[in-house]
Amino acid sequence: MIEIKNLHVKIAAEDTEIIKGLNLTVQDGEVAAIMGPNGSGKSTLSYVLAGKPDYEVTEGEVLFNGENLLDMEPYERAAAGVFLAFQYPMEIPGVATMNFLKAAMNAQRKARGEDEYTTPDFIKKVKAAAGKLDIDMTMLKRALNVGFSGGEKKRAEILQMALLEPSLCILDETDSGLDIDALKIVSDGVNALRDPKRSFIVITHYQRLLEHIVPDSVHVLYQGRIIQSGDKSLALHLEENGYADVIASAA
C-alpha cells in the first residue's frame, strides 16, 4: 500500500513547484489510473516516487507499506518493491539485456539478504516470463534497448517488471508509441501480474489503455493536485468530454 500525503515537489535546479499538495492512497491489489492534461505533473509524480535526484520534496510524506519512502535511496526503493516502467527506457550500449536482468535481479536479492539466482534458475525464469510477452530469446542477447523498436522497449520494461516481482508498479505512459497488437501484448502482461498484494499506478493520456488494463480507481491530476477521483467510468467521461468540465467544477 502506498500513501501520498500533501506532497509538494519542485524541480531542484529551479524554483518551479510542479506538485502542489497531492494526496493519493493506493491499496494492495488496487489498480489506480492517473490521467490529466500535459504538464499536470504525472511524470514528475512517477519520478519522485522512484527517487530521481532532479526533484526536491519540499513538504509532505510518502508511506510505502508503512515505511518512509522518501528517506530511501533509489536502489533501496527498488529492492523494497517499487518499479517504474519508463516512458522512454534508456539504452545501455554493450550490456546484453540478459546480463542487465541478472545484475538487477541479483542486486535486489542481495539487498534483501536473499541468495543470488544460479544461472540455470535465472535462465528458466527469464524464458518463462519472456514467452508470455512474446519476447524472442535472441532479443535478450542484444544490448538493452539499443536499436529496440518502440514495442520491444515497452515489452522489455514489462519483462523486467515481471521478473523483479515488485509490490508497487508505476507505469508511465506505457501505451505511448504502441500499435494495437503491441498494446494488447503489453496489457496482457500487466494483467497477468495483477495480484492482491500488488498495487499499480497507471499513468496515461488515453482511455484506450484502460480498456485493456481495467482500473479500480481513476484520478485526475491537474496543476499538481488530484482534482477528482472516481471509478473507471470517470475515464470514459473524460474521453468523451475532455478535461474542461472536470477542471471547471474543481475550480
Partner 1 sequence: MAAVQETIDAVKEIGVEKYKYGFTTDIETEKAPKGLNEDVIRFISAKKKEPEWMLEWRLDAYRRWLTMEEPDWARVNYPKIDFNDIYYYAAPKNFEDGPKSLDEVDPELLRTYEKLGIPLREQELLAGVRRQGEPSALDGDPADSVYASGRVAVDVVFDSVSVVTTFKAELAKSGVIFCPISEAIRDHPELVKKYLASVVPVSDNYYATLNCAVFTDGSFVYIPEGVRCPMELSTYFRINEENTGQFERTLIIAEKGSYVSYLEGCTAPQRDENQLHAAVVELIVMEDAEIKYSTVQNWYPGDENGKGGIYNFVTKRGDCRGDNSKISWTQVETGSAITWKYPSCILRGDGSQGEFYSIAVSNGAQQIDSGTKMIHLGKNTSSRIISKGISAGKSQNTYRGRVSAHRKASNARNFTQCDSLLIGDQCGAHTVPYIEANNSSAQFEHEATTSKISDDQLFYCLQRGIPEEEAIALIVNGFVKDVIQKLPMEFAVEAQKLIGISLEGSVG
- 164 contacts 198 by C-beta, under 8 angstroms: no
**Quick check: 64 binds partner 1 (CB under 8 A)?**
no
Cα separation values, 97 from 31, 90, 143, 146, 148, Å: 28, 12, 5, 9, 11
Q: Rule CB under 8 A: choose which of 6, 27, 68, 75 binds partner 1.
A: 75
**Quick check: 113 binds partner 1 (CB under 8 A)?**
no
Shorter beta-carbon distance to partner 1: residue 63 or 104: 104
Segment interacting with partner 1 (CB under 8 A) among 17-25, 106-114, 180-188, 211-219? 106-114
Q: Rule CB under 8 A: choose which of 5, 8, 20, 52 binds partner 1.
A: 52
DSSP letters along 63-80, please?
EETTEEGGGS-HHHHHHH
Q: Rule CB under 8 A: choose which of 31, 34, 164, 171 binds partner 1.
A: 164
**Quick check: 147 binds partner 1 (CB under 8 A)?**
no
Shorter beta-carbon distance to partner 1: residue 63 or 92: 92
Report d(CA 139, CA 93) in Å as an integer: 14
Stretch (H or E) spanning 51: none
Q: Name every residue whose Cβ is closer than 8 Å to that of residue 170 and which is 6 or more positions away in sequence.
A: 46, 49, 50, 82, 83, 84, 85, 200, 201, 203
CA 233 to chain centre: 22
**Quick check: 160 binds partner 1 (CB under 8 A)?**
yes
Give the shortest CB-83-to-partner 1 separation in angstroms: 8
**Quick check: 69 binds partner 1 (CB under 8 A)?**
no
The grid coordinates listed for 83 are: 518499479
**Quick check: 94 binds partner 1 (CB under 8 A)?**
yes
Q: What angle do CA 115, 28, 47 make, to 5 degrees?
A: 75
Note the residues at the interface with partner 1 (CB under 8 A).
50-54, 73-75, 77-79, 83-84, 86, 89-95, 99-100, 103-104, 107-108, 111, 143, 160, 164
